[in-house]
Structure 1
Amino acid sequence: MADAYANSIMVDALILGREGTIVPEHHCYAPPLPGIDDRLQLERWEPWVRAYIAIGEMMQGITLRKAPAGHAFQVLSSASLIAEVGRPKRTTFEKQIPLVLSWAELRSERATEIMAQIDPQYAFWSSIVYLHPDRTRRTFELINLVLQFCVYVEMRFKHAMGCYRPVEYNAEVQPMITTPGHGSFPMGHATQAYAVVQVLKALLELNPAKHKMVIDQLERQAARITTNRVIAGVHFPVDSMAGRMLGIALGEYFVGRCKSGHKFRRRKFLAAGIDNAPHTDFNPFSGSQNIHGSAFYSEAAGANIMKSNLMEHLWDAAQYEWMGRFP
């Protein structure tokens, strides 16, 4: 939002330049005003303006509330469930402390990665699908929107759950980085990483058969980013499990707001599953943690997600950058 001309020399020069060149003339040549809410006007605005507009659009109809039954919290859109996260028992977190302490053995090995992944992991996604700040500017914009949308939702979940960090359970955890000043459960890094994977798979139109390696690398990178937060000592494995589900659900919803033909999946993280097996570590590649249905997760197809014309425009602008890249 900085003004490149906002310095005294340039301001004075512009004033003098105008006074030395203008003549009395009142002819106007601005084009006709556009239609109300014309999505093409998005191209006239700066990226930060488009971001505010898009986040407002994404949050329309969103409700964040306590679930009608049990210790759970929900995110809905126009009364249709996007995701529900159940909160594990305190004893589950206590029994996961040995897992956190065990993962700490990898801190020296993963320290560089952990530090590099504190902020959004653009470099890591770029290394797989070749994002570039000049060549794929609109894709970067879209990913930023995904991340902002996730933060709005995940922070509300973290507040609702009110779960403590590992360092608040055991003095030997001693995190290697500053423990964030918000709740532990569900994990925000997992939510964001998995949401971005969902969006990239749809944006690049990756085919599970033809582009298996690309999809596999994106998902493995998301899992590694997630696990690194446990290694750092700021999260429990169960935070990863719930964050993964929430991220996938939000990513699917984001795609549905940009493209027609997508349904609500009504995803749930089942706290009873982890409460009954509290020593379970995060392993998204295990059949026992199948996101489509297992002791820890459930889903059920729902109504169609309502597409947004504004979001579709931003999606199309980003997708144009990938024409012919993944045939």
Structure 2
Amino acid sequence: MTGFKNGGLNGGLNGGLNGGLSSGPLGGRSWSGGSSSSLVPFSPPLKTGDDATGELMFFNNPDLEFPKSAWSPALRAQVIVGEFAASDWRTDLTTTDYRERSAGFHSQTPGTPTGLRGELLTLINFRNNIRQEMANEIAVQVDGSQLYWSNAFMIGIENKPNSSILVAVAMAVGQLVGMHFKDYWKRARPIQFCPALMPIIPTPPHPSYPSGHALQAYLVKHLLSAAARASAGDALHDYFSNFAERIANNREIAGVHFPTDKLESADLAAQVWEHHLRELPSVQELIANAWGEWEHNLVPGDFKNPVMAEGPESFADQIAIKLRGL
């Protein structure tokens, strides 16, 4: 009976969590604010005709269109994914070896990592010393990393509609590109080399390299930085960067990714942004329209202290400090 209890509990928790997230700021909710599956009671029926003529009353406007502003961000993003998929991204990134033209190039060969022992030791250190502290955050980010962006930066369809779509585009394009290269490299998961890692979440049913969550997070960073016209050294840009790093690092702490999976994702996201996403007319339009959603965040002189302007402390530095104190 224990198995049935655990299955029911896990299923209920996962279903509730996933359902709640999918109807959240970037999910498939209705334009009116409720879930797309919300019941709207309406009884008795509204009068639909003119008492004198008996004719049906309606808005006789053949040019009426569904407004862009009423789209669900997640669904609008699918239209842009189609535009992206029609480009030459797959051929370009696969045949020209994007790693060699990336500023963050690393020499790790997927599937046969020369530093396998060192990477596994890093993951074991995470398991032993940091994992429990990050457990709740890791669990929610399995299916809801976009929730962290929307919550921290107040990105919602009501107040930042264009930015909401940009986040959804990053999530959708990141998944498409990530799955292509996972299939291309076919890198084994950490637990296949070291079962004692025992990830705190189920190991995803697809290859390890690159990290999909990291790729999505880095794409969000690039798109939002462009929308907010924030460059390196700006407070907002540094916050975006640190959020992306945190989400990426959590996948290593969870035990489901190697550190080099994250490095690959950072390189790949930069190439996808620089050579493909930023060239799409639909993305350019969203970025231009999104500027008005961020300009109030970038008033010169807001941060008098340079330390404050750098944003939150680097997550990697936090980990290093914690490990040094052991």
Residue 23 in structure 1 maps to residue 54 in structure 2: yes
The aligned counterpart of 1:301 is: none
Aligned partner of 2:112 among 86, 90, 95? 90
Question: How many Å apart are 1:33 and its aligned residue?
Answer: 8.0
The aligned counterpart of 2:80 is: 54
Q: Distance in 2 between matches of 1:149 and 1:233?
A: 24
The answer (yes or no) to whether the contact 1:167–1:234 under 8 Å persists in 2 is: yes
**Taking structure 1 as reference, are residues 47 and 31 closer, same or farther at Cα in structure 2, changes over 3 Å only?**
farther
Residue 101 in structure 1 maps to residue 138 in structure 2: no
Question: How many Å apart are 1:31 and its aligned residue?
Answer: 4.7
The answer (yes or no) to whether the contact 1:100–1:231 under 8 Å persists in 2 is: yes
**Taking structure 1 as reference, are residues 57 and 93 closer, same or farther at Cα in structure 2, changes over 3 Å only?**
same
Deviation sequence 1:85-116 (CA, Å, 0-9, x none): 97435253642222221221211122122123
Query: Which piece of structure 1 moves more, 179-188 or 315-324?
Result: 315-324
Question: How many Å apart are 1:221 and its aligned residue?
Answer: 2.4
Question: How many Å apart are 1:57 and its aligned residue?
Answer: 1.7
Written as runs of structure 1 = structure 2, the 5 A alignment for 1:3-42 is: 13=45, 17-18=47-48, 21=51, 23-24=54-55, 29-32=60-63, 42=68
The answer (yes or no) to whether the contact 2:277–2:283 under 8 Å persists in 1 is: no
Question: How many Å apart are 1:323 and its aligned residue?
Answer: 3.4
**Taking structure 1 as reference, are residues 134 and 232 closer, same or farther at Cα in structure 2, changes over 3 Å only?**
same
Q: Kindly provide the amino acid, as one letter, of the partner of residue 136 in structure 1.
A: K
Question: How many Å apart are 1:172 and its aligned residue?
Answer: 0.9
Residue 119 in structure 1 maps to residue 143 in structure 2: yes
Residue correspondences, number: 258
The aligned counterpart of 2:290 is: 318
Q: Kindly provide the amino acid, as one letter, of the partner of residue 61 in structure 1.
A: S
- TM value normalised by structure 2: 0.65
The aligned counterpart of 2:174 is: 150
The answer (yes or no) to whether the contact 1:150–1:250 under 8 Å persists in 2 is: no
Q: Kindly provide the amino acid, as one letter, of the partner of residue 285 in structure 2.
A: H
Written as runs of structure 1 = structure 2, the 5 A alignment for 1:183-202 is: 183-202=207-226
Residue 239 in structure 1 maps to residue 261 in structure 2: yes
The answer (yes or no) to whether the contact 1:138–1:314 under 8 Å persists in 2 is: yes
Q: Which runs of 5+ in 1 are unaligned?
A: 35-39, 258-306
Written as runs of structure 1 = structure 2, the 5 A alignment for 1:128-143 is: 128-132=152-156, 134-143=158-167
Choose between structure 1 and 2: higher helix proportion.
2
The answer (yes or no) to whether the contact 1:198–1:252 under 8 Å persists in 2 is: no
Q: Which runs of 5+ in 2 are unaligned?
A: 1-29, 31-35, 300-326
Residue identity over aligned pairs, in percent, reads 24
Divergent runs of 4+, >6 A: 3-7, 25-28, 83-86
**Taking structure 1 as reference, are residues 208 and 153 closer, same or farther at Cα in structure 2, changes over 3 Å only?**
closer
Deviation sequence 1:270-302 (CA, Å, 0-9, x none): xxxxxxxxxxxxxxxxxxxxxxxxxxxxxxxxx
Aligned partner of 2:249 among 227, 239, 250? 227
The answer (yes or no) to whether the contact 1:129–1:214 under 8 Å persists in 2 is: no
Q: Distance in 1 between matches of 2:222 and 2:199?
A: 30
**Taking structure 1 as reference, are residues 113 and 27 closer, same or farther at Cα in structure 2, changes over 3 Å only?**
closer
Q: Distance in 1 between matches of 2:48 and 2:225?
A: 52
The answer (yes or no) to whether the contact 1:199–1:254 under 8 Å persists in 2 is: no
Deviation sequence 1:27-61 (CA, Å, 0-9, x none): 98325489xxxxx9634655455333222122221
The answer (yes or no) to whether the contact 2:163–2:224 under 8 Å persists in 1 is: no
